[in-house]
Structure 1
Amino acid sequence: MTTIRSSLFLLLTTPLLPACAAQPGVDYTVRLDRARNQIVRIEATIDQPGEQAEFVLPTWRPGRYGILDFAATVRTFDAVDQSGQPLPVEKIRKNAWIVDAGGAESVTFGYDIFANELGLRTRHADDSHVFLNGSSIFVMNPARRLEEHIVRFDGLGDWQVASGLARADSENALVAANFDVLVDSPIEIGEHRLIEFELQGVDFEIVIWGECAKTDEELSDDFGKIAEACMDIFQSNHFDRYVFLIHSADGIGGGTEHLNSTIMQTRPSSFTSESGYRGFLGLVTHEFFHTWNVKNFRPAGITPYDYDKENYTTQLWVAEGSTSYYDDLLLARTGQRTIQNYLDAVAGSIGSVRGNPGRAMTTVEQASYDAWLKFWGPSSPDHRNTNVSIYTQGHIISLALDMLIRSETEGAGSFDDVMRLMNERYPYESGGYTPEQFQETIAEVAGTSVEGFFERHISGVDQMPLEDLLSTVGLELILRDPDPVPFAGLSLRDSGGRTVVSRVFDNSPAFEAGLILDDEIVSADGVRLDADKWSDILDESEIGDSLTMGVFRRDNYREVELTIAGKVSQRYDLELVDAPTDAQRVHFEDWIGQPWPERD
């Protein structure tokens, strides 16, 4: 039974907890009087600090495995004792400070944050709202990390507060069981649209900042279908309340999973476009599925979080890629995308995986380990030659494993069972799962060893036999055009009146010709070109043709010979077989949750 409650404004959308019997480990005050200037002041107070008190601001945030160095936005800092008397404070490294407490009864470390970052979902303030991702805002006192933390707000005015955190004994305060809960529970402050519904004993809230053309009923119905599909897989909930925070504004997009909440960003047009809304619902599915995969069971390498540096694991392809597999699949199961639309999306992902030159060089395990450098780290044009996406590659590996399990068990098992068992056996409190435990769980569900599959396709770079695996559910993977097409391995872009090289594929004709990034290409066979003209020339070329390319490199002119090669385009269609067996029909329907489509 789903019940809907709607309101334009939200006070503190959390149950009231009884007053705390003891002082919190850290008591924060968030001062909002300069929010319209994008400045937020934080004051962190601890009692009985001893001679010194250390305060550390995380360098990254949960859900994005890249160093962001939030301390760079700290404008000023200071410290006082219980009487407001100044105390000496020293910065001891880029993100840490020591206060000389000198036996004071309490220490308050205060600092101003410049909050003008919205797209990465860290901290943003203006005259319409304040968004706080805890890891970018709140300092940690390492000695009290596991103690209770309280957040109070000063200067709210008519604004309201929304968060997955529980409400403390004050109208304007939230409480977290420890620092990890605090920084994994984003806070949205302002005037919001609130939609509430209940499902399977869980209270859900949808909180929207910005424009959204969908009605309360449409959103609660669509979110409810997604939530129910996820809950049906795991068959257990470790939370009794969940908050969907939504930012709707032009120029933003993406989402981040948190303990019992998510922050999702999209454009207002996503709510008026069929394809845009379908994409947004995919984001909703992805982030909510993470409530189990990552937030409840996560790789040992990132459990618990070390906020001071990179946390390495080879299993991000499971954390992100397996989740990506379900954010497409579950919308097909709920009927929120058509079967054909889903199959087209899968075929596109397969083409992306097979057409990526980095697939021959980098395993998905290595890509997981290097995500801090090559996915969320500093961008390099060469990453497209040497790296694979933990999202897309992990998605297709999860699809392949699902097909393998269904085939080996004659439909008695599936990847759903793997996810459910991982959630049951390796909750957060267990310290995280190892690669061996994940592989063993798959083997148990499949009833056979999967060591060879892992060696070839996860620890190795061999191409997966998707054509054979997908036949399990009566699907045929078809290469659209097996004939090679002209290929130069060269991408150009127009910039400031110049046409420059933006990408060179490894071992391509452009690579062999010695072209490099940022070379200015002025002509091909004496014909002046720009990026569009280059596309036309390539389309009109034949395999084996030789082109004389006029090139400026650091203002020095040269000519190089480029010989057009042939390459088979990795574009696929995923189609239903003409005459499915009874087993294929059953496996298909169990997998996708819809009847086998009958052809006219």
Structure 2
Amino acid sequence: MNAYTLSRALAAFALSFSLISGASAQNSAPQPVPIISTIPEPQDRPLPAPMSLHVDATDVDRAIFRVQQNIPVETGKPLILLYPQWLPGKHGPRGALAEMTGLMIRAGGKTLRWTRDPVQVYAFHVDTPEGTTSVDVEFEFTSPIRESEGRIVVTPNMMNVQWEQVALYPAGHFTRAIQVKPSIALPEGWTGVAALDGATITGNRIDYGLTSFETLVDSPMFAGPHYKKWDLGHNVTLNVWADDAKYLAAKPEQIAAHRALVDESLLLFGSKHFDRYEFLLGLTEELGGIGLEHHRSSENTRETDYFIQWDDNMSERGLLPHEFTHSWNGKFRRPATMWTPDYTTPMRDNLLWVYEGQTSFWDLVLGARSGLQSKEMVLAEWAKYAGFYAEQPGRMWRSVEDTTHDPIFAARKPKPFASQSRGEDYYNESSLIWLDADMTIRELSKGTKSLDDFAKAFFGVRDADWGVLTYDFDEVVRTLNAVQPYDWARFLDTKLRQPGQPAPLAGIEKGGYKLVWKEEPNIFDKELMKEGNNLNLAHSLGMMLNKDAIVTSVLWNSPAFKANIVNGAKIIAVNGYAYSKDGLTAAIKAAKDGKTPIRLIVERSKRFAQIDIAYSGGLRYPHLEVTGQGKTAIDRLLSPRRTKP
């Protein structure tokens, strides 16, 4: 390039740069509008008078709850009403605001203007005239009618009333400082039970005594026409509703197992943090499933054959032990960062591996000790978890503690490759880690101590106190060290807070068992597959199929994954024959010779493809197999503590 050409090129570049710079200088460049919260922080101070709350729950056909409230107004303070958002036991912002409709607020017969807060959309600013002492609030809660709309809480034969869905409360107060007098109208002939005091029944209306808003939200109701109750001792009642009265035919030995659960729990913890406890259990194919803890009650659903097909439902009977344990672990003892003064303050879930994880350990132990579940079923369930975490790839990048945040950002929605992304593994992996802790204590103490001692020292304090006693990581470590000196801080930090750890099998191995693989499913997996009418091939082909041969889960880097099979694909044929469970399992067995391919016809998004899977490992299901002679440490852990009558 000569000097003249170079000069012209530089001039053109300079002009272009100038034009670009000029255009850029003229682009709009906004600055953020500051977010200024006008919602007062909660304070531990009462309202000038109690609220009243009445819920008309008689519109079963349309599943609509009609709400009337009278809420006191503090002189000289703006009125801001809040709808519960962050809910205890749900570990995240699960408030059902989308179903709240028809909000009308009045004072002295006049309709008041309200405005939703544009940042905290669960808050409503109310224009109250000077001198207003209370406001009357009305709205409807239009509960889901179809599963696609959310959990169904009303059917023709049952309802589950969750008070946080049908109530507002004023900002600026701890919920325990807000007094409320609740009442509810139920359909004629229905029986409703909630762990609320002072109930008086007039016709189909129940009026309760004065209580705190915190206690109200913690005391849901089940109701329905087909109802029966059993006294389990120690002021604990098993309340059961069913889609039809025939499903309430419990045998004495079945109720005895539930009674033993209460006995074993009180022996374990050495205290109780309730004056009475109500198991609320719905046996239903229509109401949405739930298992949710409360201080003096729990919300539970199982299928209608819970009693009448007792021998086929052992895998389902861990729910009540789990929720009952929460009265001690989660409700009375709660992580300091998970206790919140109201239902607007966010929770920080880091210690859910204690709150839920140790509860998941105790529910298996108490299931076995009470006889609700056999030792074999409990071992099979631990085998399932051990097998899963032995091969779960997501453990390499994500710690157990990090999964405690899943309830907040994932909201339990399905994931494309859950084995890689992980989910709420703080339940089941933590169960295995607490088993390791128990076995470590037994080993170091030469069998004189166990995690039972931790349970008494940590959860069993302050008998009859049904407030909330908070804790942090350091207190967990101190209590473990008081039971059995050890480097518990490192133990918990390594296994729970650091990714890339070995499979959590140490507790199983210290307890006298080992993880093995067999072609036949263990009894837990077998019952789950029968109940769900599905096929679990997670540890062979690396996928699970529902009753319609649709893939519901694919293990990351498994043979199915490498063959580009994904969730939603449908298996049409196996080795030239129409799909059947037996046909696919037979093909997997035949392929063990290393020569016979597993040839599938797969439909995905209206497209069909032939897929050959080169897999010769056969069917694989996890089992626990005893490694020594005589009674093992795990056998002793699962043995009953009570003296049988």
Q: Identify whether the pair has TM-score above 0.5, normalized to the shorter chain.
A: yes
Match of 2:184 in 1: 153
Contact 1:494 1:531 in 2 (8 A): no
Match of 2:197 in 1: 166
**Matching of residues 265-304 of structure 1 within 5 Å:** 265-304=301-340
Contact 1:254 1:265 in 2 (8 A): yes
Deviation at residue 55 of structure 1 after TM alignment: 1.7
Q: Give the direction of change, closer, same or farther, for the CA distance of 1:493–1:126 in structure 2 (3 Å limit).
A: closer
Deviation at residue 416 of structure 1 after TM alignment: 1.5
**Matching of residues 322-471 of structure 1 within 5 Å:** 322-374=358-410, 376-387=411-422, 389-424=425-460, 432-460=470-498, 461-464=500-503, 466=505, 469-470=507-508
Contact 2:51 2:179 in 1 (8 A): yes
Q: Give the direction of change, closer, same or farther, for the CA distance of 1:204–1:180 in structure 2 (3 Å limit).
A: same
| Gap runs ≥5 in structure 2 | 1-45, 520-537
2:142 alignment partner, one of 114, 130, 147: 114
Contact 2:328 2:460 in 1 (8 A): no
Q: Give the direction of change, closer, same or farther, for the CA distance of 1:514–1:165 in structure 2 (3 Å limit).
A: same
Match of 2:71 in 1: 46
Q: Give the direction of change, closer, same or farther, for the CA distance of 1:487–1:224 in structure 2 (3 Å limit).
A: closer
Q: Give the direction of change, closer, same or farther, for the CA distance of 1:364–1:531 in structure 2 (3 Å limit).
A: farther
Structure 2 counterpart of 1:102, which letter? Answer: P
Match of 2:513 in 1: 476
Structure 2 counterpart of 1:206, which letter? Answer: N
Q: Give the direction of change, closer, same or farther, for the CA distance of 1:139–1:272 in structure 2 (3 Å limit).
A: same
Q: Give the direction of change, closer, same or farther, for the CA distance of 1:335–1:222 in structure 2 (3 Å limit).
A: closer
Match of 1:236, SS? coil
Q: How many aligned positions are there?
A: 559
Match of 1:270, SS? coil
Match of 2:356, SS? helix
1:185 alignment partner, one of 219, 228, 253: 219
Inter-partner Cα distance in structure 2 for 1:444 and 1:428? 25
Find the structure with the greater CA-based Rg.
2
**Matching of residues 580-595 of structure 1 within 5 Å:** 580=630, 587=633, 590-593=636-639
Inter-partner Cα distance in structure 1 for 2:260 and 2:135? 48
Q: List per-residue Cα deviations over 1:87-146 (Å, max 9, x = no partner).
A: 222333532222212132210111011134698997733554542112222222123432
| Gap runs ≥5 in structure 1 | 1-20, 596-600
Q: List per-residue Cα deviations over 1:406-438 (Å, max 9, x = no partner).
A: 111112221112222222569886662222322
Deviation at residue 295 of structure 1 after TM alignment: 0.8
Q: Give the direction of change, closer, same or farther, for the CA distance of 1:410–1:352 in structure 2 (3 Å limit).
A: same
**Matching of residues 114-263 of structure 1 within 5 Å:** 114-116=142-144, 124-144=153-173, 145=175, 146-154=177-185, 157-167=188-198, 172-175=206-209, 177-191=211-225, 193-197=227-231, 199-200=233-234, 202-204=235-237, 206-210=239-243, 211=245, 212-215=247-250, 217-218=252-253, 220-251=255-286, 253-263=289-299
Structure 2 residue 67 is matched with structure 1 residue 30: no
Q: Give the direction of change, closer, same or farther, for the CA distance of 1:34–1:270 in structure 2 (3 Å limit).
A: closer
Q: Give the direction of change, closer, same or farther, for the CA distance of 1:545–1:444 in structure 2 (3 Å limit).
A: farther
Structure 2 residue 577 is matched with structure 1 residue 577: no
Structure 1 counterpart of 2:418, which letter? Answer: H
Q: Give the direction of change, closer, same or farther, for the CA distance of 1:253–1:127 in structure 2 (3 Å limit).
A: closer
Q: Give the direction of change, closer, same or farther, for the CA distance of 1:286–1:510 in structure 2 (3 Å limit).
A: closer
Match of 2:350, SS? coil
**Matching of residues 492-511 of structure 1 within 5 Å:** 503-509=553-559, 511=561
Deviation at residue 30 of structure 1 after TM alignment: 1.3
Inter-partner Cα distance in structure 2 for 1:449 and 1:169? 55
Q: Give the direction of change, closer, same or farther, for the CA distance of 1:534–1:523 in structure 2 (3 Å limit).
A: same
Does 345-354 or 322-331 show the bigger shift?
345-354
Contact 2:68 2:138 in 1 (8 A): yes
Structure 2 counterpart of 1:317, which letter? Answer: W
Inter-partner Cα distance in structure 1 for 2:237 and 2:570? 55
Q: List per-residue Cα deviations over 1:515-537 (Å, max 9, x = no partner).
A: 65567888999x69868666655
Does 240-249 or 445-454 show the bigger shift?
445-454
Inter-partner Cα distance in structure 2 for 1:349 and 1:419? 23
State the TM-score, normalizing by the size of structure 1: 0.80
Structure 1 counterpart of 2:221, which letter? Answer: I
Does 400-409 or 271-280 show the bigger shift?
271-280
Q: Percent identity?
A: 20
Structure 1 counterpart of 2:496, which letter? Answer: I
**Matching of residues 13-92 of structure 1 within 5 Å:** 24-50=49-75, 52-81=78-107, 83-92=108-117
Deviation at residue 176 of structure 1 after TM alignment: 5.5
Contact 2:318 2:363 in 1 (8 A): yes
Does 157-166 or 514-523 show the bigger shift?
514-523
Contact 1:148 1:175 in 2 (8 A): no
Deviation at residue 558 of structure 1 after TM alignment: 8.7
Inter-partner Cα distance in structure 1 for 2:48 and 2:220? 23
Contact 1:509 1:565 in 2 (8 A): no
Inter-partner Cα distance in structure 2 for 1:266 and 1:36? 23
Match of 2:182, SS? strand
Q: Give the direction of change, closer, same or farther, for the CA distance of 1:320–1:529 in structure 2 (3 Å limit).
A: same
Contact 1:43 1:111 in 2 (8 A): yes
Contact 1:355 1:569 in 2 (8 A): no
Structure 1 counterpart of 2:241, which letter? Answer: I
Match of 1:418, SS? helix
Deviation at residue 490 of structure 1 after TM alignment: 5.7
**Matching of residues 512-527 of structure 1 within 5 Å:** 512=562
Match of 2:26 in 1: none
State the TM-score, normalizing by the size of structure 2: 0.75
Inter-partner Cα distance in structure 1 for 2:550 and 2:58? 48
Q: Give the direction of change, closer, same or farther, for the CA distance of 1:143–1:122 in structure 2 (3 Å limit).
A: farther
Inter-partner Cα distance in structure 1 for 2:283 and 2:550? 36
Match of 1:271, SS? coil
Match of 2:27 in 1: none
Q: Give the direction of change, closer, same or farther, for the CA distance of 1:272–1:24 in structure 2 (3 Å limit).
A: farther
Deviation at residue 382 of structure 1 after TM alignment: 1.8
